[in-house]
Amino acid sequence: MLIRGVLFDIDDTLFDSGSEADSVLAYLAMQGLLDRFPDSDAALGLWRELKERHYDRFLNGELTFAEQQRERTRELLARIGASTQAGLSGEEAAAWFAGYQAHRHATRAPFPDAEPALKTLEPDFRLGIVSNSSADHQRRKLDTIGLLSYFGDRIICSDQHGAAKPAVSIFLAGCTMLGLQPQEVAYVGDNFKTDAMGAHQAGLRGIWLDRANDNASVAVHADIGVIHSLNELKGTLVAQNSDLQPEY
Ligand SMILES: [Mg+2]
């Protein structure tokens, strides 16, 4: 079947979260906390460790999206000795994290290839989002980086859906949202397993956005498309569709 729709991952696919490191370091410095770490790498290492651990708890349904933010803050400040022994209250932790988000918000940016790709796809393909996150959070993020209009309400996030990628159900919910069969939909994301293989296992066309050119070190399934920039996306989809057109 022809591909008629494209679903996207957001973080590290459309949105450049690589700028996160600068935001974290700047916010810790603003808060007078950066000198509590041996160096910047140690600060980023702890930030990432806590983010990964507590975000996984959110994805597993153990914490709400706001709770994982508060837990990360509490543990971060406790580990560097910047909170009292009793730790931060929920309100204090939420306020600290909100300060970080406000700072981060001001520095958010899409990848330079994101908007041009969406613009060329928009006339020919139905576009949507399937993301492991909170829908409100991701909608605000897309709005801030100027990409929300390409998706409108066609956004499914794991918090509202109740299961996270690579669960088959969340990919199928994305197809239903577009009004298409899984075989008519491509899914584009930066994570080979969660995005590309997850989508493939749900019956979609999985496309791995391998920005770092890691494909030599990964055993890529033959049915997975590999691109290195979103500039290659439309050409890949059009080429695949023309292979499927009957010859006359
Ligand atoms: Mg991603």
Same domain for 207 and 90? no
**CA of residue 104 to ligand 1 center, whole Å:** 18
Residues 88 and 115 in one domain: no
The residue range of the domain holding 49 is 17-105
* pLDDT at 18 > cutoff 90: no
Q: How many angstroms is it from 247 CA to the middle of ligand 1? A: 37
Per-residue pLDDT tens digits for 43-53: 999 999 999 99
- Buried b / exposed e over 84-122, threshold 16 CB at 10 Å, is eeeebeeebbbebbeebeeebeeebebbebbbebbebbe
Dig out the tokens for 12 from the structure.
Answer: 């590290």
State which of 105, 132, 160 marks the end of a domain.
Answer: 105
What does the pLDDT average to over 207-214?
Answer: 93
C-alpha 46 to ligand 1 mean position (Å): 20
**Amino acid type, 2:** L
The pLDDT value recorded for residue 87 is 85
Q: Are residues 121 and 164 in the same domain?
A: yes
Q: Please identify, among 77, 105, 133, the residue that sits at the C-terminal boundary of a domain.
A: 105
Over the stretch 55-114, which tens digit does the pLDDT of each residue have?
A: 999 999 999 999 999 999 999 999 999 987 778 999 999 999 999 999 988 888 899 999
How far is the centre of ligand 1, averaged over its atoms, from the C-alpha of 198 (Å)?
13
- Domain end position, chosen among 41, 75, 105: 105
Q: Is the peptide bond prior to 166 cis by the omega test (within 30 degrees of 0)? A: yes
Looking at the predicted structure, is the pLDDT value of residue 247 above 60?
A: no
pLDDT value of residue 181: 98
CATH of the domain at 121: 3.40.50.1000
97 CA distance to ligand 1 centroid (A)?
22
Rounded to the nearest angstrom, the distance between the alpha carbon of 109 and the centre of ligand 1 is 15
pLDDT over threshold 90, residue 202: yes
What is the model's pLDDT at position 126? 98
| Residues 134 and 174 reside in one and the same domain | yes
3-state class (DSSP) for residue 23: helix
Same domain, 95 and 116: no
Based on the fold, state whether residues 10 and 116 are members of the same structural domain: yes
CATH number at residue 98: 1.10.150
Q: What is the DSSP string of 74-133?
A: HHHHHHTT-S-TT---HHHHHHHHHHHHHHHHTT--B-TTHHHHHHHHTTTSEEEEEESS
Residues 22 and 12 in one domain: no
Looking at the structure, do residues 95 and 172 belong to the same domain, yes or no? no
When divided into structural domains, the chain yields a total of 2
Mean of the per-residue pLDDT values of the chain: 94
pLDDT value of residue 246: 62
Q: In the chain, what percentage of residues exceed pLDDT 70?
A: 98
17 alpha carbon to ligand 1 midpoint, in Å? 9
In the structure, what pLDDT confidence band is assigned to residue 214 with cuts at 50, 70 and 90?
confident
| 15 Cα to the center of ligand 1, angstroms | 9
For residue 34, the CA-to-ligand 1 centroid distance in Å is 28
197 and 210 share a domain?
Answer: yes
